């Protein structure tokens, strides 16, 4: 069977599985002591444990066949080749070129993109080094102490998440801030404690037209001019964009402008010069480790057989739950406080990529596509929303992420963190049935009537799925690996659904309507004729 078109392979598999009960994870563990040995993949220090999923050999075999029939490998090779994979925007999706250390060329329209990738990376590194060592000072000659990245979505979430994740690797002399929201409170609160003479703004925008970013950039410019005068602007701004002509108009000199190509999607762009704020924070050498981590996963994704290919397995499990079993969300719970923004980063990566309703050929999908991705760090989540994951009526597959060793943290704290992380996936899998609950309550001396009344409330069904990603420690290489794993998970799922994970037309309508409403909202006397009654009522109020 082949069914690469329109997700046909998935429809076939759904028919085969129709009416079948999900595999009992609990029972599978009880009957097979070798289950972990079978269902984990180790890539150096990175362990991917997928044994606590609703799979057995037969189902896993069918999922692997689904990947084959959906031609995931051929599609993957096409993406890496530089072909125009993003068919609705007529361009390649080549973020992988930004972390290509193979020494091999990557051709786009007959030209090797690698010399330009390397030259841009070197230009970023030189500027970052100058800011870090103070050889590129502000207008008054003072050393820069605060770097403010102004960007939104893919021009914010990646560097913001990573700067926090990699705090122990950051220059202690520099503070990094991220301003994204058009709400003036974001910029206002950020600059309140800053000195213009020691502040550098990086305007990060692929298109250099995004309303939020351009508004914040203008206000930041006004703040610098008010504090230091017009002449200071050229010393206190840098820009990252694909639109070099628009940046020039803003008044930023070309030596402080860092480009990237339109074949890098916004949510895939932190590997490019969009990472400038991060490069300044952690330095070019650590940033290279981050890129190399991504490259290691690219190599694994391209070479490992499907059965042992971590991102492909992640994607297949994602399709199993989302589409075949109708599960609507995916929780990502890093037991790593510094990965606090990782779920938000993945939200954009996954939901902007896979929140699609049409196949590549424009026909409507019959599948359920992208899950709602959400999460917060553990152990905090345990005391907030884990109740629903353990006992609610909704099944929520969980990705647990945890380091074996702490990075600059207390070892005892870390033992508690690890124990809690492992205990959660164990509890989700095992559950506790009514017999166990009753026995425990009786042992504690509870009266039989009370045991009967209380026991149902204390039952955990178990059989709730999770993956665990266990890595040595959270460093730049590991972070690069984790991000690339999720990028390829998203790709694998889109390949099975036969959708385009690289466009984002769904964000356009809101942008268009907002720009029409700006003059109406700004002018108290403006006519609201032609607006729907709700919008008109809100504006009037
Ligand atoms: O509105 C969505 C979006 O286009 C994202 O895809 C992108 O990451 C973000 O806006 C920011 O865009 P830009 O980098 O062009 O300012």
For residue range 214-261, list pLDDT tens digits in order: 999 999 999 999 999 999 999 999 999 999 889 988 889 999 999 999
pLDDT at 465 over 70: yes
Q: Is the CB of 507 under 6 A from ligand 1?
A: yes
pLDDT at 3 over 80: no
Ligand 1 centroid vs 265 CA: distance in angstroms? 9
- In degrees and rounded to multiples of 5, residue 469 shows phi and psi of -105, 115
From 161, 206, 347, mutation site for ligand 1 pocket: most ligand atoms within 8 A of C-beta? 206
pTM attached to this predicted model: 0.97
pLDDT at 539 over 80: yes
Closest atom of ligand 1 to CA, residue 267: 8
Name the active-site residue from 71, 296, 352, 487.
352
516 is catalytic: no
- Residue nearest atom 3 in ligand 1 by C-alpha distance: 153
DSSP single-letter state for residue 196: G
Q: Is the CB of 210 under 6 A from ligand 1?
A: yes
Q: Confirm if 150 and 179 have CB atoms less than 8 A apart.
A: yes
pLDDT at 51 over 90: yes
Ligand 1 centroid vs 212 CA: distance in angstroms? 10
Q: Is the CB of 211 under 6 A from ligand 1?
A: no
Give the pLDDT of residue 249: 86
Mean pLDDT across the stretch 447-476?
A: 97
Name the pLDDT band for 2 (thresholds 50, 70, 90).
very low
Q: Is the CB of 180 under 6 A from ligand 1?
A: no
Tell me the C-alpha distance between 247 and 263, whole Å. 19
Give the pLDDT of residue 5: 73
- Residue nearest atom 6 in ligand 1 by C-alpha distance: 266
From 88, 149, 153, 161, mutation site for ligand 1 pocket: most ligand atoms within 8 A of C-beta? 153
| Packing angle, helices 211-228 and 508-522, rounded to 10 | 50
Name the pLDDT band for 514 (thresholds 50, 70, 90).
very high
pLDDT at 1 over 50: no
pLDDT at 116 over 50: yes
**What is the share, in percent, of the chain residues with pLDDT greater than 70?**
99
Name the pLDDT band for 323 (thresholds 50, 70, 90).
very high
Tokens of 103: 């020494």
Tell me the C-alpha distance between 196 and 200, whole Å. 8
Give the pLDDT of residue 4: 61
HEC profile of 263-319: CCCHHHCCCCHHHHHHHHHHCHHHHHHHHHHHHHHHHHHHHCCHHHCHHHHHHHHHH
Give the pLDDT of residue 6: 76
Rounded to the nearest angstrom, the gap between the alpha carbon of residue 492 and the centroid of all alpha carbons in its chain is 15
352 is catalytic: yes
Q: What is the pLDDT of residues 138-147, one digit of tens each?
A: 999 999 999 9
Mean pLDDT across the stretch 86-111?
A: 97
Ligand 1 centroid vs 436 CA: distance in angstroms? 52
Q: What is the pLDDT of residues 178-193, one digit of tens each?
A: 999 999 999 999 999 9
Ligand 1 centroid vs 63 CA: distance in angstroms? 34
Mean pLDDT across the stretch 149-153?
A: 98
Name the pLDDT band for 401 (thresholds 50, 70, 90).
very high
Higher pLDDT, 166 or 12: 166
Mean pLDDT for all residues in the chain:
96
Q: Confirm if 384 and 399 have CB atoms less than 8 A apart.
A: no
Q: Is the CB of 153 under 6 A from ligand 1?
A: yes
Tokens of 64: 């692997």
pLDDT at 291 over 60: yes
Ligand 1 centroid vs 210 CA: distance in angstroms? 7
Give the pLDDT of residue 408: 82
511 is catalytic: yes
Sign of CA dihedral 101, 107, 112, 118: negative
Closest atom of ligand 1 to CA, residue 508: 1
Ligand 1 centroid vs 153 CA: distance in angstroms? 5
In sequence order, what DSSP letters do the residues of 491-528 get, joined into one string?
HHHHHHHT--TT--GGGHHHHHHHHHHHHHHH-TT---
Find, among 402, 407, 409, 335, the residue nearest to 375 by Cα: 335
pLDDT at 371 over 60: yes
Give the pLDDT of residue 250: 86
Give the pLDDT of residue 251: 84
Name the pLDDT band for 367 (thresholds 50, 70, 90).
confident
Give the pLDDT of residue 140: 98
**Segment (H or E) for 32:** none
Q: Is the CB of 366 under 6 A from ligand 1?
A: no
Tokens of 330: 């995916």
Mean pLDDT across the stretch 319-329?
A: 95
Name the active-site residue from 383, 412, 443, 541.
383
Ligand 1 centroid vs 458 CA: distance in angstroms? 46
| Packing angle, helices 57-69 and 476-497, rounded to 10 | 80
Token pair 């230091």 is found at 228
Q: Is the CB of 241 under 6 A from ligand 1?
A: no
């Amino acid at each position: 069977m082949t069914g690469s078109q329109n997700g046909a392979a998935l429809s076939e598999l759904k028919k085969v599985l129709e009416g079948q009960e999900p595999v009992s994870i609990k029972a599978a563990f009880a009957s097979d002591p070798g289950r972990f040995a079978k269902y984990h993949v180790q890539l150096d220090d990175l362990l991917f444990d997928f044994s606590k999923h609703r799979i057995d050999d037969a189902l896993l075999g069918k999922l692997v066949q689904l990947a084959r029939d959906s031609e995931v490998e051929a599609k993957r090779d096409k993406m890496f080749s530089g072909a125009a994979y993003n068919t609705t925007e007529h361009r390649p999706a080549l973020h992988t070129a930004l972390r290509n250390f193979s020494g091999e060329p990557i051709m786009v329209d007959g030209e090797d993109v690698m010399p330009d990738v390397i030259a841009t990376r070197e230009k970023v590194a030189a500027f970052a080094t100058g800011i870090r060592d103070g050889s590129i000072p502000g207008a008054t000659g003072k050393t820069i102490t605060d770097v403010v990245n102004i960007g939104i979505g893919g021009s914010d979430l990646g560097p913001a998440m990573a700067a926090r994740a990699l705090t122990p690797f950051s220059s202690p002399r520099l503070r990094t801030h991220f301003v994204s929201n058009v709400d003036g409170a974001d910029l206002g609160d950020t600059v309140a404690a800053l000195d213009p003479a020691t502040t550098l703004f990086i305007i990060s925008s692929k298109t250099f037209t995004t309303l939020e970013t351009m508004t914040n950039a203008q206000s930041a410019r006004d703040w610098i001019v008010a504090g230091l005068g017009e002449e200071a602007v050229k010393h206190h701004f840098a820009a990252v964009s694909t639109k070099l002509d628009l940046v020039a108009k803003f008044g930023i000199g070309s030596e402080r402008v860092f480009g990237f190509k339109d074949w890098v999607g916004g949510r895939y762009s932190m590997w490019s010069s969009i990472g400038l704020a991060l490069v300044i924070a952690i330095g070019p050498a650590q940033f290279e480790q981050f890129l190399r981590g991504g490259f290691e996963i690219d190599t694994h994704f391209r070479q490992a057989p499907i059965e042992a290919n971590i991102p492909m397995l992640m994607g297949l499990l994602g399709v199993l739950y989302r589409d075949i079993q109708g599960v609507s969300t995916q929780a990502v719970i890093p037991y790593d406080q510094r990965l606090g923004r990782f779920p938000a980063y993945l939200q954009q990566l996954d939901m902007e990529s896979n929140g699609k309703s049409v196949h590549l050929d424009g026909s409507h999908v019959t599948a359920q596509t992208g899950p709602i991705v959400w999460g917060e760090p553990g152990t905090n989540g345990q005391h907030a929303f884990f109740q629903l994951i353990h006992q609610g009526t909704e099944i929520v597959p969980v990705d647990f992420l945890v380091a074996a060793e702490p990075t600059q943290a207390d070892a005892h704290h870390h033992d508690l963190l690890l124990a809690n992380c492992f205990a959660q996936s164990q509890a989700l899998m095992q559950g506790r049935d009514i017999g166990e609950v009753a026995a425990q309550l009786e042992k504690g001396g509870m009266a039989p009537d009370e045991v009967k009344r209380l026991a149902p409330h204390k039952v955990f069904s178990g059989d709730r799925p999770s993956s665990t990603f266990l890595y040595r420690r959270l460093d730049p290489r590991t972070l690069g690996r984790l991000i690339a794993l999720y990028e390829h998970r998203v790709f694998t799922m889109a390949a099975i659904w036969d959708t385009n994970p690289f466009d984002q037309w769904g964000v356009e309508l809101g942008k268009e309507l907002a720009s029409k409403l700006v003059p109406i909202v700004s002018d108290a006397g403006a006519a609201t004729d032609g607006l729907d009654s709700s919008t008109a009522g809100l504006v009037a109020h």
